[in-house]
Amino acid sequence: MMRALKVLIATPEAIPFAKTGGLADVTGALPKVLQGLGCEVRLIMPFYRQIQESGEKAEIKDTGIQVSVSLGFRELSVPVFQSSANNVPAYFLKRDEYYDRKYLYTMPDGDYFDNAERFILFSRAVVEAIKKLNFKPDIIHCHDWQTGLISAFLKTIYKNDQFFADTKTVFTIHNIAYQGQFPQSHFPLTGLPHEIFTPDGIEFWGNMNLLKAGIVFSDIITTVSEKYSKEIQTPEFGYGLEGILMAKKDNLFGVLNGVDYDDWSPEKDKFIISKYDYKDLSGKAKCRQDLLKEYSLNLSDDAPVIGIISRLADQKGFDILSQAMEDLMNMNLGMVVLGTGERKYHDLFEGLAKKYPKKLGIKITFDNKIAHKIEAGSDMFLMPSKYEPCGLNQIYSLKYGTIPIVRATGGLDDTIDDYDPKVAEGNGFKFNEYSSKALIVKVNKALEAFSDKKEWKKLVLNAMQQDFSWERSAKRYVELYKRLMIEKP
Ligand code: ADP
């Protein structure tokens, strides 16, 4: 029998420890499933304040191991902590002046000024820590710009280090718009050789670009849906990195994110007032009442509730949604919004909620419990994104019988099929043109379908029975890992 594949997941966030978005859902779920498929998995991330404040704190112990990490001219000592709570051991790298902060990367007024330093240190400390922990990975699977330097270190400073002689790297891009770009003056902090500060290496128009480092130096690059893997090779979606991605296209793959149905299914959801499944939907009606109460809305039964859980950002389609809001508020529907993000959208939606207090509810906060209540209690879920690498909430929505209305981009396009009433096929509503007009037309189509109770129920049941569990996606990752093992000299 072949020995177990050893995989290290290096990530800036993962549930249940710390989360700002979908990345944490992915890095929280994937390790468990990989382990179930026979891999030997470890996770490694910074020890943030969020973790100290989370319910996981009690399970986290000091390993007694410290690594010494170079950061420019300084040598910093980084203690390694470990959680024994999960089946997958997780390591936390502690350096309080960098990670003991209110937010992970960005404050309401902007990014932390020393993000370069914070994640150069993290990436270098990952490499040093696994040596000292004596976990010799076959694969280091890195996620997003914060970990982009790991493969650059392995291919340069550590290239003759026997410990890593058999280690390969996979780099997953969760959102190419976030690249970790910093002035060249930060480059010496990395300790990397000057020869790689070129347009073929880590340089991007005079700056240091950490996402680009991940793309250039990793053995395989993946992104979180098939469609997005094609989109990012074009100028419209590539944010300047389309050229380098096209050049590496033979090693670029789209692997759709899965869903952890232990967390996100109405049968098991511990946050909702009444559990339900596709055989008995009575609980969903109770969840709807509970949601309306939570948002103090007053809505008749024939008006659907449209849910939104999102970062309030242009990427998520808030510009076209803003233009459509007055029209939407004049339709027979209600809307509940949960999100944080750009101040202009906070103000706009709060203003609209005052104008339409019975129909529109807004909560400007990050709250996992309310997110679950929205998934269960809404009838429809709106994601009019400008671009969407994968998108998770539309997939969660399907399981809750909450019908997605999406724009056809990235993972939204890969997961949602436009409903055709003639043949009663499809699992949601999908529009192409990025405009408020196209959005309104599609919402109208959804309202039409909703008004026919029998037709709607069929659509709901169809959606609820779809399966996007992690198993398939994790198997695809294992295939890619094994491909690298075979390619080994
Ligand atoms: P993103 O681009 O933000 O990562 P995804 O759709 O991939 O978008 O994932 C977003 C994740 O974050 C989902 O699990 C969603 O429920 C969660 N989320 C987003 N905003 C909030 C919020 N304000 N409160 C609670 N959860 C949120």
DSSP states along 406-460:
EESSHHHHHH--B-BTTTTB-SBEEE-S-SHHHHHHHHHHHHHHHHSHHHHHHHH
* CA within 13 Å, CB half, 50: 16
Instruction: List Cα–Cα distances, 304 to 70, 249, 448, in angstroms.
Output: 57, 43, 11
- With respect to residue 268, please indicate whether it lies within any of the assigned structural domains: no
Residues 241 and 292 in one domain: no
- For residue 371, the CA-to-ligand 1 centroid distance in Å is 8
pLDDT of residue 146: 98
Residues 170 and 302 in one domain: no
pLDDT of residue 421: 85
Cβ of 27 below 6 Å from ligand 1 = no
Cβ of 309 below 6 Å from ligand 1 = yes
List % helix, strand, coil for the chain (3-state, nearest 5). Answer: 40, 20, 35
- With respect to residue 80, please indicate whether it lies within any of the assigned structural domains: yes
Rounded average pLDDT over 400-416: 98
Does residue 332 register a pLDDT over 70?
Answer: yes
- With respect to residue 271, please indicate whether it lies within any of the assigned structural domains: no
CATH code of the domain in which 66 resides: 3.40.50.2000
Cβ of 371 below 6 Å from ligand 1 = yes
- Number of domain units in the chain: 2
Q: How far apart are CA 447 and CA 442, in angstroms?
A: 9
CA dihedral in degrees (470, 388, 24, 125; nearest 10)?
Answer: 110
Name the least confident of 155-159, 230-234, 329-333, 344-348. 344-348
Helical (H) or strand (E) element with 383: strand 380-383
Residues 128 and 193 in one domain: yes
- For residue 309, the CA-to-ligand 1 centroid distance in Å is 6
Cβ of 252 below 6 Å from ligand 1 = no
Count other Cβ atoms within 10 Å, centred on residue 76: 17
Domain span including residue 401: 282-464
The residue to mutate among 340, 375, 393, 468, having the most atoms of ligand 1 within 8 angstroms of its beta carbon, is: 393
pLDDT digits over 218-271, tens only?
999 999 999 999 999 999 999 999 999 999 999 999 999 999 999 999 999 999
Rounded average pLDDT over 446-454: 96
pLDDT of residue 56: 82
Greatest distance between any 2 Cα atoms in the chain: 69
Atom of ligand 1 nearest to the CA of 25: 14
Does residue 1 register a pLDDT over 70?
Answer: no
- With 0-12 / 13-18 / 19 or more C-beta atoms within 10 angstroms meaning exposed / middle / buried, residue 172 is buried
Residues 333 and 453 in one domain: yes
Q: String of b and e for 307-337 (b: at least 16 CB within 10 Å)?
A: bbbbbbbbbbbbbbbbebbeebeebebbbbb
Residues 460 and 474 in one domain: no
Cβ of 366 below 6 Å from ligand 1 = yes
Does residue 196 register a pLDDT over 70?
Answer: yes
Type of residue found at 288: R
Q: How far apart are CA 396 and CA 127, in angstroms?
A: 35
Atom of ligand 1 nearest to the CA of 392: 6
- With respect to residue 73, please indicate whether it lies within any of the assigned structural domains: yes
- For residue 170, the CA-to-ligand 1 centroid distance in Å is 24
Cβ of 367 below 6 Å from ligand 1 = yes
Phi-psi region of 341 (alpha: psi -120 to 50; beta: other; left: phi over 0): left
Q: Give the residue, by CA position, lying nearest to ligand 1 atom 19.
A: 310
Cβ of 311 below 6 Å from ligand 1 = yes
Cβ of 339 below 6 Å from ligand 1 = yes
Residues 325 and 457 in one domain: yes
